[in-house]
Chains A and B, each alone.
Chain A
Amino acid sequence: MLRRYLIPRFLQYLLVIFVGVTIVFFVPRLTPVDPVQQMISTIMKMGTYLDPKAVEQMTESLKELYGLKGSLFEQYLAFWQRLFKGDFGPSLFRFPIPVIKLIGDSLPWTVGLLTVSTFLSWIIGNILGGIVGFYYEKRWARVIESIAMFIRPIPYYVFALIILVVFAYLLKWFPLGGGMPIGVRPSFSITFILELFRYAFLPLLSMVVLGVAVTLQTMRLIVSNIVKEDFVVYARAGGVKKRLIAFKYVIRNAMLPQVTNLALSMGQIFSGALITEIVFSYPGMGTLLYNAIATGDFNLIMGIATLSIIGISTFILFIDLLYPLFDPRVRYR
């Protein structure tokens, strides 16, 4: 199992990180824009007069800051070195706080939102999808399926916006945004946790509903194919109880491709979480990214892009390593 399952997974993990980091490194250098020049012109636009000598000095120090010194290959090596040290330079819009600190502060919010919503939508989606797929001829099953079909293609942004308008503007049931009430100190009291939940509810709702729609549909498709397999027909003919067939024979088999699907769609779900956070101004990495874009903070955008690549591929590796627990065939190979 180690040689045939784990080692290829680990190699793929390293490859994903390599490809991702390489893209993040080279793409900005392929664009005609020079972040250093951009930075200097923003400073000049603010009305400060700089004499040519100061500009030259600043160009040098900014080049150093962005890691733009030396040949392209030297820069590339230096980039990896800094990456291993977790050094992405200082943030420019909140100078001189290091980028890594800003990301670290907003990470718990994103991780919380992402794991809770992914977990919930995967479980609910699979159970609902399993039932809908098992009874695919029933009328109510078709109704659920067509609802999912209408929700699924809506992008995260548009869906979150609709939820926000309906539940926060029109009905006023939930706060318009933010992560917790202003001026409240974090504590472990029940009221604080309830408040946290109240603020997290709408972002969670919009992510879970979309997630459920996707999982439900793929699960239904897999289950409705398994139901037609010989072993299920045979079990039915042999008089095995229907519930037993549904859970032990059908859904268990259908779960396996769903684990793989989850791993494959993790990147998309993560992008969706960033967008949802921006809509609800939830204080996670999405909102941080939004601020970074608004202020043109190149270091921060770079840091978020690099770290999210590493984070997501590690998460996928984790799912891959758990896979043998679900599938005995992989375990005994």
Chain B
Amino acid sequence: MSVLKDLLRDGKFRLGFIIICIILFLGILSFFSPYDPTRWNVVPRDLPPSLQHILGTNSQGQDVFWQLTFAIRNSLTIAIIAASFSRIIAIIVGLIAGYRGGRVDRVLMGINDSFLVLPLLPILILISSLIKGRLSFVTLGLILSAFGWSWDARVIRSQILSLRERDFTYTAILSGSKTMSLVFKEYFPFVIPIVFSTLINNMSWAIGMEITLAILGLTNLEIPTLGTMLQWALSYQAMLLGLWWWLFTPVITSVFLFVSLYLLSVSISEYLDPRTRIQRIRVIKE
């Protein structure tokens, strides 16, 4: 709790936190939706925003506001699946490479660097164009996680490399603790904060990728996500027909979502870096 309090002192974190709370609230609202998001023609079509339909309705006869709540929930679910699985891969690769060192490290980091520089979009398109129709959002999350781990594995590895040289490692080894317990008990507390700050970055990457793949028509368009909402609005030419509320809702929401996630991750990584933390405390004191 005190960590949260410290973080909230930072203006960036406060802003990001408020926006993400509003977005989360919208996502939770989806559980109370009066409409089924997959059904069409439940409300009159093409209505502009009014008191009854806060964000208007679209050409499929759906209420844009309630559609948005489902979209947020599903997009965040995909992001969390993708980010948490890729975290597991990153931790395993980072720990092994950092702890074993030598040849294992060189081989793992060679592969890791290849993943880092490969243009992922064409590869993801290749995969998802093959399993087009069957791409549920869990599968999508898993596919994204298979490609989103390389940068963070590198960060974790370098952290482990520096931990390995510290005295407490030798103390632990000499006092006979096993490798596994050393890694989990001693190293994990140092690694967890990094994992958390990269988690947010990775979530925002996954949401962006989902939008991109949905626009290309490569995900299951029945499930409302931020990407598929945008895709439907574009394929119905919402802008040309003057249905701006339909197109702008997912665009503006996603921009807010990305900015808030970014603000949170910047603020958390500044907090984790002791040098800037000292600076901030000094600024507050002055």
Contact = CB atoms under 8 A, between A and B. Distances in A.
Interface of A: 12, 15-16, 18-20, 23-24, 27-28, 31-33, 35, 149-150, 152-158, 161-162, 165, 169, 263-264, 266-268, 270-271, 274-275, 278, 289-290, 293-294, 296, 298, 301-302, 304-305, 308-309, 312-313, 316
A274 B121 contact: yes
A175 to B, nearest CB: 15
A12 B113 contact: yes
Across the A-B interface, give the 8 residue pairs with the lowest CB-CB distance, nearest first.
A271-B121, A153-B262, A155-B208, A19-B114, A305-B122, A153-B258, A267-B119, A16-B114
A301 B111 contact: no
Contacts of A155: 208, 211-212, 254, 258
Contact of B122 (A31, A152, A263, A274): A274
Contact of B126 (A28, A266, A271, A313): A28
Contacts of B134: 32
B117 A158 contact: no
B215 interface: yes
B251 A161 contact: yes
Contacts, number: 131
B118 A267 contact: yes
Contacts of A33: 130-131
B27 to A, nearest CB: 19
A293 B119 contact: no
Given A16-B114, A301-B126, A270 B119 contact: yes
Contacts of A15: 110-111, 113-114
Given A32-B131, A305-B126, A157 B211 contact: yes
Contact of A153 (B111, B212, B259): B259
Secondary structure at the B interface, as helix, strand, loop or mixed, is helix
B16 to A, nearest CB: 10
Contacts of A156: 212
A28 B111 CA distance: 20
A309 to B, nearest CB: 6
- Counting contact residues on chain B (CB < 8 A from A), the size range is 35 or more
Contacts of B131: 31-33
Nearest to B122: A305
Contacts of A266: 117
Nearest to B151: A264
A293 B216 contact: yes
Contact of B125 (A12, A264, A305): A305
Contacts of A313: 117-118
Contacts of B254: 155, 158
Given A15-B110, A32-B131, A35-B130, 11 more contacts: A31-B130, A31-B131, A158-B211, A162-B255, A271-B121, A293-B217, A293-B218, A298-B129, A301-B129, A308-B119, A309-B119
22 contacts: A12-B113, A16-B114, A19-B118, A24-B123, A24-B126, A27-B126, A28-B127, A31-B127, A149-B12, A149-B266, A155-B211, A157-B215, A162-B255, A278-B216, A298-B130, A301-B122, A301-B125, A305-B126, A309-B118, A309-B122, A312-B118, A312-B119
Given A27-B127, A153-B258, A157-B212, A289 B113 contact: no
Contact of A275 (B111, B121, B217, B230): B121
A153 B260 CA distance: 9
A16 B217 CA distance: 29
A312 B116 CA distance: 12
B272 to A, nearest CB: 14
B130 A264 contact: no
Contact of A264 (B116, B119, B259): B116
A42 B54 CA distance: 43
